[in-house]
Chains A and B, each alone.
Chain A
Amino acid sequence: MTKILVVDDEVSILRSTQLLLMDMGFEVVTCAEQSHVLDTLRKERPDLLLQDVRMPGLDLDRLVRAIRQDTLLSRLPILLFSASMDLDEIQERVGASGILEKPFKPTEIVQAIAAATGQTVGGAA
């Protein structure tokens, strides 16, 4: 089962995305505090990071660099999701594996996860 860490400071987004992904057959852990992301990644060892791009205290370039330089996490696919309109530019700048614009359809999130992880992922969508 594909395990995903969802990071967002909006509790409603965190909860609704978690429930949707769980109903589609994914294992999901969540994090609302940017400062806890690296520790949570090392502890949970997910197959994918689904990261909001607009959070208090988030330096996305620094976060991605830290992940890429960490021996345990360096190959972790990072999927950016946001309500922002400049996701393409951000993805290109930080070198993320993919992007997902909010709001999204179940099929879109499943396709984005599959593309980012290179796996065929299950889902009820």
Chain B
Amino acid sequence: MTLAPSRAGKPNAPTGPSMEGALHDVTNAVAAARSYGEILLLRARSGSMSSPATMEDSTALLESMLRELERVGDIVRTVRGGVIEAYQPGDVLACADCGYTFVHRKAAGKLGSCRRCKSYQVTRWKPETTG
């Protein structure tokens, strides 16, 4: 994969498998957000939003949709920061946001994201050395 000419010269711009992984993850997040939106639209069109139970459930769907859109923003920020690294399943990663250390279990090529707080600000974990 090649970057658009306007970005090609940017220092640290991600390329190759990491960029493909980012696109893949963005597509997944957009797909999930879209599905939540479509469910809400179907319910609104069918007139089923008026009951309190459906309204409560729909609020949860709306929150899920916004979470996915936030995820898209996180990935875009990560790509623009040029800090993407390709991880393999089994790699031990650490979250820069919440400090959680975890084993990367996604398929090869997918972005690393924290298994606790879902942040994409992760790095390869290195044990602290003493003495």
Chain B binding site: helix, strand, loop or mixed by DSSP?
helix
Q: Are B31 and A13 in contact (CB under 8 A)?
A: yes
Q: How large is the interface on A (under 10, 10 to 19, 20 to 34, 35 or more residues)?
A: 20 to 34
Report the nearest A residue to B1, measured CB to CB. Answer: A85
Query: What are the residues of chain A within 8 A of B67 when measuring CB–CB?
Result: 12
Q: How far is the CA of A102 from the CA of B89 in the complex (A)?
A: 23
Q: How far is the CB of B19 from chain A (nearest CB, A)?
A: 12
Query: What are the residues of chain A within 8 A of B105 when measuring CB–CB?
Result: 56
Q: Are A58 and B107 in contact (CB under 8 A)?
A: yes
Q: Mark B38-79, 1 if CB is under 8 A from A, else 0.
A: 110011001000000000000001001001100100000000
Q: Are A23 and B42 in contact (CB under 8 A)?
A: yes
- Show the binding face of A for B, using Cβ within 8 Å: 9-10, 12-13, 15-17, 19-20, 23-24, 54-56, 58, 83-84, 102-106, 124-125
Which 6 pairs across A and B sit closest by C-beta, in order of nearness?
A: A83-B27, A103-B31, A16-B35, A102-B31, A12-B32, A16-B32
